[in-house]
Chain A
Amino acid sequence: MAINFQQALGMSESALRLRAHRAEVLSANLANADTPNYKAKDFDFHAALQSAQQQQSRGGLMLTQDRHIEGGGQMLPGVNMTYRTPTQPSIDGNTVDEHIEHAEFMANSLEFQTAFTLLNSRFKGLISAIRGE
């Protein structure tokens, strides 16, 4: 039975990466809360995680020619940015609702900790398997 890291870590690694990316997007929304004409952005975490899993199981892009460039790597696959629908549109064209963004950011950082804890316990499991304790 062959174990590789991707199989052993499962989706917690992609989840952690996507959570970090989402934190960045939400922090940009919060920083631009007073910028005229700025539109708040976000992405569907569930869809992004699913497409990241599919990409992982496919193992990236197939190379059928010499001149093909290898895909994958550091890219974040399947993150479709969407604009948030404003609940209280403001006169300067800004669609950032500070309270919603703040709540989303806090929830996201909690989910980040959850993903981190899961990933950490996977590593601990691997380490205890290696040591045979």
Chain B
Amino acid sequence: MGLNRIMDIAGSGMNAQSVRLNTTASNIANAESAASSADNVYRGRHPIFAAAYHNMLGHPDSTNLSGDEASAGVNVLGIVESDAPLQMRYEPNHPLADEQGYVFYPNVNVVEEMTNMISASRSFQVNIEVMNSAKQMVQRVLTLGQ
């Protein structure tokens, strides 16, 4: 029955969005975490999403796409660190300053993270609404013939 699969699909979407929200929270919290060298500084993290296809037996199979295999949940493939250039600030009085007086700050763009946060919470909300509708549909079906 398709209605029960909706719960799985919406659940995987919510899981993916909450991972995204988690990385965003970590990025924003660490936006000003200084370090004394480029190796130790925090770098922005971002999840990679991919569609997870399931065929009728429930085995993931991304090559086949027809009929029942057509619907897909979301899979979080992993979390990558951003390659954007780090911020170097000249703060000779900072306790973490190196010999030249530079302190390294993360490559987190707070504006970007805020838009990410809004987008993630909005998508989370949509998935909840989908799940609610599916729940109502299942409950209606249970009253068939009464």
Chain A interface residues (CB < 8 Å from chain B): 16-17, 20-21, 23-25, 27-28, 30-36, 38, 41, 75-76, 79, 81, 98, 102, 105-106, 109, 112-113, 116, 119-120, 123-124, 127
Given contacts A23-B134, A34-B17, A120-B145, contact A28 B126 (CB under 8 A): no
Given contacts A23-B3, A31-B9, A34-B17, contact A105 B130 (CB under 8 A): yes
Which of B69-77, B88-96, B101-109 contacts its partner? Answer: B69-77
Given contacts A23-B6, A98-B126, contact A31 B74 (CB under 8 A): yes
Chain B interface residues (CB < 8 Å from chain A): 1-3, 5-6, 9-10, 12-13, 16-17, 20, 48-51, 65-68, 70-74, 119-120, 123, 126-127, 129-130, 133-134, 136-137, 140-141, 143-145
Of B70, B119, B137, the residue contacting A81 (CB under 8 A) is B70
Question: Is the CB–CB distance between B133 and A33 below 8 Å?
Answer: no
> Nearest 5 CB-CB pairs, A to B?
A31-B13, A28-B71, A24-B2, A20-B2, A35-B49
Q: Is the interface of A mostly helix, strand, loop or mixed?
A: helix
Kindly provide the distance from the CB of A61 to the nearest chain B CB, expressed in whole angstroms. Answer: 16
Beyond contacts A20-B3, A23-B2, A32-B13: 5 other A-B pairs, Cβ-Cβ < 8 A, are A16-B141, A23-B134, A23-B137, A31-B74, A76-B67
Residue of B nearest to A79 (CB): B67
**Chain B residues, CB < 8 A from A113:** 137, 140
Kindly provide the distance from the CB of B112 to the nearest chain A CB, expressed in whole angstroms. Answer: 14
Given contacts A31-B13, A34-B20, A127-B145, contact A20 B1 (CB under 8 A): yes
